[in-house]
A and B are shown apart, each in its own frame.
Chain A
């Protein structure tokens, strides 16, 4: 299956390891991801606060570019997925005319032909197939799934699975041979989008997820959102210092867990790029980490 790939800004910046892992996992599974030429920032759930029309039109343009490729869109970032799906719903509900009037100036047109899906959903849907390709079952790895708000909410826009009790991450964790560990923060917020205006709140949210994972005996946290990953990993030392020296917990991108099970190398997955090193727990779980 071929997809128009919307990486989002972060996969080309602080989460380059998620980009290389996504591309390598897709290749292993026989999916072809073609980056949308000229894609722009999705607005990151911020632009609408200062210029809602710009946020809408930028995403109308992103979607029109993908439609020109004749492919459905896949993204590996939950906020990008929400922004693109929200814009698509708004456009189809009546904003299409005015957006297309703008797009016509540059020879583009949004029709709604391309659906937008999260890479998580593709992995979950195909888990029964790719579980047979697992080269390194992660038998001893205890993984605390952290969905990230925009992965499941609001359900009218995201809607892949129940927002009250999603199971896609658990299914994938089991398909990798690992064991899911439930923490109370499984469906809660990491704080990322308010890390500047509500810094203390964001840090306490981060500390709370990390602390719960440590107390539940999880070897690592797992998230399908690179923004949650930034918050939970990059800000973890700050969050934990405020929480008085709790145990650090490594945070894996979803694609790294799957990549690890499918036998990708640590280098391909950029495992050296994490603030809290995930390699020791992966090594302990599987004997080697490539």
Chain B
């Protein structure tokens, strides 16, 4: 192959178009090297951001064929192996306001980041004189979260954010909250968790895009799960999210298997199950997805317990008893 073809999404503040560029192929080029080649040799009007060229500053994240990546840390050869030798589409990060071509705005994201109350409020035993030291293991517990370079890749394909950013935040914001909530030196870990509870902590759809796209291998989805656990432990057990998760835990200890008939009333309450979900339930009966007798049995009683249920109950956390 002699030529690389890029189809780049352009935006000049008013008009949007897709522009084709061809550059000579050389093995071992990064996506950023290609963008720089285009800007220096073919089209000085193409805008993108980059600085460190070492996967540290987070400025160069773009989407290739719809997937976020760091342009400076991605070899074109690897992309050609995945998609074949056709043109590569380059576009700005998703779930972001585009300023110009591949450049997205960060002002509003930084404002939203403030919602996590980032910043450490240290325990009273620490002082300017004594310092604020922590054990290596405690530091390791949040080391991954501290690796965030604010590149925005985790947010680009976040399925929840694409649907609506009104009741959810960029995954890296949850990670920032988690790094303070999980800091052994913090006097107020729940401050960050409670802030996230107000901004969609239970609305993550588990699509795993953030975990997949983070170039630093941070796992915002796991940070969300960890803060949900902290919230539940602190008594924030109301709402469909925690009740839904708890229903699965209850069934695990009770019979070992999910009771799908009790899931809706346990999550949303009996009234909602009997009214709002009635058309759904009738549809299930009509198509034989669920037998009426079977449903009545599952509602009044439960699944038969799995073989060796006592063993299962024994190995699950001792302090929780099945309800």
Interface residues of A (CB under 8 A from B): 9-10, 12-14, 37-41, 43-54, 57-58, 60-61, 82, 102-103, 105-108, 149-150, 153-156, 162-165, 188-189, 191, 193-194, 196-198, 200-202, 204-205, 234-235, 237-238, 272-275
The answer to whether B163 touches A205, judged by C-beta atoms less than 8 angstroms apart, is yes
Whole-angstrom distance between the Cβ of B52 and the nearest chain A Cβ: 24
Question: 8 nearest interchain CB pairs?
Answer: A38-B307, A106-B311, A153-B208, A40-B256, A9-B258, A197-B241, A189-B159, A189-B207
Q: Is the Cβ of B249 less than 8 Å from the Cβ of A234?
A: no
Nearest chain B CB to A196's CB is how many angstroms away? 4
The reply to whether B288 and A273 form a contact with Cβ atoms under 8 Å apart is yes
Report the bound CA distance from A14 to B167 in whole Å: 30
Central interface residue in A165, A200, A204, by most chain B CB within 10 Å: A165
Are B205 and A191 interface neighbours, CB within 8 A?
yes
Q: How far apart are B257's CB and chain A's nearest CB, in angstroms?
A: 5
Is A58 in contact with B307, judged by CB distance below 8 angstroms? Answer: no
Q: Is the CB of A9 within 8 A of B244?
A: no
Q: Tell which of B83, B160, B267 has the most Cβ of chain A within 10 Å.
A: B160
Task: Report B-chain residues with C-beta under 8 Å of the C-beta of A200.
Answer: 164
A-B contacts, 18 listed (Cβ < 8 Å): A40-B257, A41-B257, A43-B252, A49-B229, A49-B245, A50-B232, A54-B253, A149-B159, A165-B65, A194-B203, A194-B204, A196-B268, A197-B241, A201-B163, A205-B163, A205-B205, A238-B280, A272-B287
Contact with A along B126-150 (1 / 0, CB 8 A): 0000000000000000000000000
Contact of A275 among B159, B206, B289 (CB under 8 A): B289
Q: How many residues of B contact A (CB 8 A)?
A: 64
Closest chain A residue to B242, Cβ basis: A50
Residues of chain B within 8 A of A38, CB atoms compared: 256, 306-308, 311-312
The reply to whether B256 and A201 form a contact with Cβ atoms under 8 Å apart is no
Query: Which A-chain residue is minimally distant from B310 (CB atoms)?
Result: A106
Task: Given A165-B82, A196-B241, A274-B287, decide whether A9 and B249 contact each other with a Cβ distance below 8 A.
Answer: no
User: In the complex the two chains form, is B315's CB within 8 Å of A234's CB?
Assistant: no
Beta-carbon contact of A165 and B83 below 8 Å: yes
**A153: contacting residue among B209, B251, B253, B287, CB under 8 A:** B209
Which of B219, B242, B258, B287 counts the most A-chain CB atoms under 10 A from its CB? B258
Say whether A189 contacts B249, CB under 8 Å. no
* Residue from B160, B212, B284 within 8 A of A163 (CB atoms): B212
